[in-house]
Amino acid sequence: MAGPEPLFDKIALIGIGLIGSSLARVVRRDNLARHIAIATRSEKTLARARELGLGDSYTTDAAQAAKDADLVIVSVPVGSSGDVAKEIAPVLKPGAIVTDVGSTKRSVIAQMAPHMPAGVHFIPGHPLAGTEKSGPDAGFADLFENRWCIFTPLPGTDPAALERLSEFWRRCGSNIDTMDPDHHDKVLAIVSHLPHIIAYNIVGTANDLEAVTQSEVIKYSASGFRDFTRLAASDPTMWRDVCLHNKDAILEMLARFSEDLASLQRAIRWGDGDKLFDLFTHTRAVRRSIIEAGQEIDVPDFGRQAIEHPRK
Ligand code: NAP
């Protein structure tokens, strides 16, 4: 029996790294578009995307890919989204939907919205799905399965366009939420940006220690350190841009984090075992709630292997 009709005639994927190539794979697998146009900055990444057979047409010219597209998805580091918007703006067809996947929203809106022509539906988005890997080889069609995709629509957004884009993401496997951009940036600062910054920091500290050798850090890493190194292996360009483009919310959360860390430090110094036990009991419950919400599975190694490579 034939599956459902494609949702779009032509989808343009601008940026074909982890997120863009995962979209290409799910769009192809589930027949969500008749034509997938791929654009990326470098010839090298473009050649790899072509080898992997991720699309129907390939170019290093974002405007060429965006021309005649019904849906344009910009999946580049957030600091580059303004340049891409400027490049594609002159060719966008009236009625087209333009969205992005950037990890920060206020800054992306400030960069992209001014370039968007009248009659084009610009709907900022952010799929809360990823890994520490990057590039076109890193993507997989199941990446968005049972993950949230948050839209931060601008005032006056056409409800029909929003529904069409929501349906696209639902067909990619995601659950949909909408949020005010500033609120999105605060929420993401605590659930994503701070954990990555803490991971970068702790791995950096361990690397700089003189009392413990680097080979000991590696050898005994399974005691906890290893779990931080996964986050700290994330793409440097992407995370540099996240830090620069969600500065206010990240600094606010870091201030709160430092206060709480000082309080924990005091409890350890004064041997306040009750305080430590209470905190560690509460935090254990948080992990249980995440498992119950289906956002993690309760197997060793934090379940990454099982999540990223589900057994068929
Ligand atoms: P990625 O794997 O590193 O791929 C980045 C893509 O953007 C590549 O096609 C790259 O092109 C292109 N690019 C890099 N710099 C560019 C520039 N200055 N101008 C134009 N294109 C440029 O990155 P990703 O993980 O897919 O992330 C893409 C976006 O998704 C980011 O905004 C990130 O915040 C967001 N996001 C990421 C995750 C995650 O876990 N990784 C999760 C949710 C959202 P070349 O290779 O040809 O240079």
* Mean of pLDDT over the chain: 94
Nearest in space to 287 (alpha carbons), one of 298, 279, 278 = 298
In this prediction, residue 309 carries a pLDDT of 47
Is 303's pLDDT higher than 70?
Answer: no
Judge contact between 234 and 177, C-beta under 8 A.
no
Question: What's the pLDDT tens digit per position in 22-68?
Answer: 999 999 999 999 999 999 999 999 999 999 999 999 999 999 999 99
| 143 ligand 1 Cβ < 6 A | no
Give pTM, 2 decimals. 0.94
Quote the ligand 1 centre to 12 CA distance (angstroms). 15
| 15 ligand 1 Cβ < 6 A | yes
Task: Give the residue whose CA is nearest to atom 39 of ligand 1.
Answer: 130
- Tell me the best of 21, 58, 76 to mutate to test the pocket of ligand 1, counting ligand atoms within 8 Å of each CB and taking the most: 76
| 181 ligand 1 Cβ < 6 A | no
Average pLDDT of span 294-310? 65
Residue 135, by phi and psi: left (phi above 0), alpha (psi -120 to 50) or beta?
A: left
Is 212's pLDDT higher than 80?
Answer: no
Task: Give the residue whose CA is nearest to atom 5 of ligand 1.
Answer: 17
The domains located in the chain, with CATH, are 8-179 (3.40.50.720), 183-270 (1.10.3660.10)
Counting other chains too, the contacts that 198-207 makes at CB distance below 8 Å and 24 or more residues apart are 198/228, 198/257, 199/228, 199/229, 199/230, 199/231, 199/232, 200/231, 200/232, 200/239, 202/228, 202/232, 203/228, 203/229, 203/232, 204/232
Is 2's pLDDT higher than 70?
Answer: no
Other beta carbons within 10 Å of 274: 8
